[in-house]
Amino acid sequence: MNVKEIKRVYFVGIGGIGMSAVARFFLAQGAVVSGYDRTETVLTKKLVEEGMSVHYTDDVNLLDKETTLVVYTPAIPKDHTELNWYRDNNFPVYKRSDVLQWITETLHAITVAGTHGKTTVSTMIAYLLRETGYGCHAFLGGISVNYQSNYWSSTNDTAVIEADEYDRSFLKLFPDVAVLTAIDADHLDIYGTVEEIEKAFIQYTKNIKPGGTLLVKHGLHRSSELTATNKLTYSLTNTAADIYSEHMMQRHGGYTFDVVGKGWTVRHLHINIGGLHNVENAVAAVAVTQLLGIDGEKVREALENFRGIKRRFEYIIKSDRMVFIDDYAHHPEELSALIRSAKHLFPDRKCVVAFQPHLFSRTRDFADGFAESLDMADEVLLLDIYPARELPMEGVTAKMITDRMKNAAHSIVSKEGLLEYVKNNPLDMFITSGAGDIDKLVEPIKAILEAK
């Protein structure tokens, strides 16, 4: 399908982070864009401000019945009235992954996949390409703080795409450069077993175009089965990798470091975002710029001003008196990296973490891991599970996690109780984390902390 000929597009689930990037692409192309989502959010309000029409009731009377393309997300339930009306009336209905394939198949595609880190790495790459003047189209799974968007366009033919493993969507992409950040157990509700997840990522690397390059984190399980014409490994500091960092120093809540590759070095880099994992993410992003032949000095200047991604180790408050960090972490590995990094940067502060588990199935599958991760904090406040697309499961509650925790300084609280805690307790480092709606509490918490 020629996407440039599409004049009207309707999105079922327009408020999803990946869906909204594609919606913004079509709006930029001059198409009329409208859609449905379950709830109004900061993102859907922004889409309306940009010129899209969005409603929040599953009602066929509200549909654009002249649309030329209907796009939906796999998270939409099968009994969705609007989606089924479009199907029953023979409208062209496609998944977001299909449409993203059409958009990017004629471009020089740089894709970033992995169970953790893909949003940060893809945003870093896209930001560096834009800021150095190289340029790119960007389809991201997070909101760039620098540009307040998850999509931008360019006059050149390069695209940076966050490749989502959910529902195996990323297997429809055929990259010229593929980055792989992690392969861990996740989305077991979709894949069933860890082996099936691993098979999907192996297939992702097989989709790399002939002559293309795979940039993969050093030491991943089954890495010998990951194939490409050119294969490079990267690491935080392991010199056995093809690309790694050295001379790393902590500075002002961020890090300075060099990135060393085979035959090249980019020196005196600095990132102003916390977390050693973000230094490793920067190693991958800088490596991609060198594959493209971008001048290292331009990369250094650009990276200095990278402000991160919304809800990825995002400093809401950062002062001598108080540090408040918000993060999307919703998997034990992500949660561990978040807490470890915060305690590394601010070792003399009491680390209090408010965590909202995401999905009943994920809580069931990873309760032990969540407990182990949260035990790293000094105190934990646990919200009820955010169900998202799932129905409740018998016996699966937040208590599954607290029952497994060794640290006795924990409690299960309501959202109102969380705000009361913040109001009534002395805090010098506070972290909110989760992929549900805990982000709606960020501004109220910020207001309480600033008023103290």
Domains with residue ranges and CATH for the chain: 3-94 (3.40.50.720), 105-304 (3.40.1190.10), 314-451 (3.90.190.20)
Q: For residue 144, give the H/E element and its range.
A: strand 137-144
Containing 177, the helix (H) or strand (E) segment is strand 177-180
pLDDT-based confidence at 4, cuts 50/70/90? Answer: confident
Task: Tell me the average pLDDT of the chain.
Answer: 94
Predicted confidence (pLDDT) at residue 389 exceeds the cutoff of 80: no
Residue 80, annotated as binding a ligand: no
Q: Confirm if 336 and 373 have CB atoms less than 8 A apart.
A: yes
120 has binding-site annotation: yes
Confidence band for 188, pLDDT divided at 50, 70 and 90 = low
CB 219 within 8 A of CB 235: yes
Residue entry with tokens 């401000």: 49
The pLDDT, as a whole number, for residue 149 is: 95
pLDDT band for 189, please (50, 70, 90 cuts).
Answer: low
Give which of 303, 364, 366, 287 is closest to 329, Cα–Cα: 366
pLDDT band at 186 (very low <50, low <70, confident <90, very high): low
Query: Angle at CA 140, nearest 5°, toward 415 and 165?
Result: 85
Does 205 carry a binding-site annotation?
A: no
Average pLDDT of span 26-31: 94
270 is in an annotated binding site: no
Phi, psi of 304 (to 5 degrees): -55, -30
369 is in an annotated binding site: no
CA distance 216 to 149: 27
| Predicted pLDDT at 184 | 77
User: CA 171, CA 124: separation in Å to the nearest integer?
Assistant: 22
d(CA 54, CA 198): 37
Cα separation, 164 vs 112, in Å, equals 8
Q: How confident is the model at residue 223, as a pLDDT?
A: 87
Inform me whether the pLDDT recorded for 346 exceeds 70. yes
User: What is the pLDDT at residue 75?
Assistant: 82
Nearest to 36 by CA among 49, 22, 19, 51: 19
Structure confidence at residue 318 (pLDDT): 92
Strand spans (E) along 74-136:
93-95, 108-113
Q: Is 263 annotated as a binding residue?
A: no
Q: What is the mean pLDDT of residues 103-130?
A: 95
Can you spell out the DSSP letters for 319-332? SSS-EEEEE---SH
Query: Above 90 in pLDDT, residue 232?
Result: yes
- Gap between the Cα atoms of 352 and 339, Å rounded: 9
pLDDT in tens, 64-102: 888 889 999 988 888 999 999 999 999 999 999 999 999
Pick the more confident residue, 252 or 386: 386
CA–CA separation, 165 and 162 (whole Å): 10
For residue 38, the tally of other CB atoms under 10 A from its CB is 15
pLDDT for position 187: 61
Confidence check: pLDDT of 254 > 80: yes
Distance between CA atoms of 234 and 179, rounded to whole angstroms? 10
Which pLDDT belongs to residue 221? 83
The answer to whether 117 is annotated as binding is yes
Q: Which range is least confidently modeled, 107-111, 198-202, 251-255, 419-423?
A: 251-255
